[in-house]
Amino acid sequence: MQRLHKGRELEQERDIKEVQRDLSLIQSPAVGMKKHKQEDTVTENTQESDHEMELIEDGGEIIL
């Protein structure tokens, strides 16, 4: 019984490692595109905030 139980545990561990290794093959290509788009949006928002802070420090008005 113990060998059977241990064999099942080892098989599950191997399956988990295989899925983690091959996850890129399983996922949709759109996942990478969405992540890239989110990073671009965050970068743009950060740049806009930096620009607004420069205007405030210079005593200028913020015009959106």
Looking up tokens 């671009």 gives: 40
Report the predicted TM-score, pTM, of the whole model to 2 decimal places. Answer: 0.40
pLDDT at 3 over 70: yes
Classify residue 28 as left (phi > 0), alpha (psi -120 to 50) or beta: beta
The residue-averaged pLDDT of 25-53 equals 69
Which residues does 53 contact at the CB level (< 8 Å), separation at least 6? Answer: none
Residue 20 token pair:
């983690």
The residue-averaged pLDDT of 15-28 equals 85
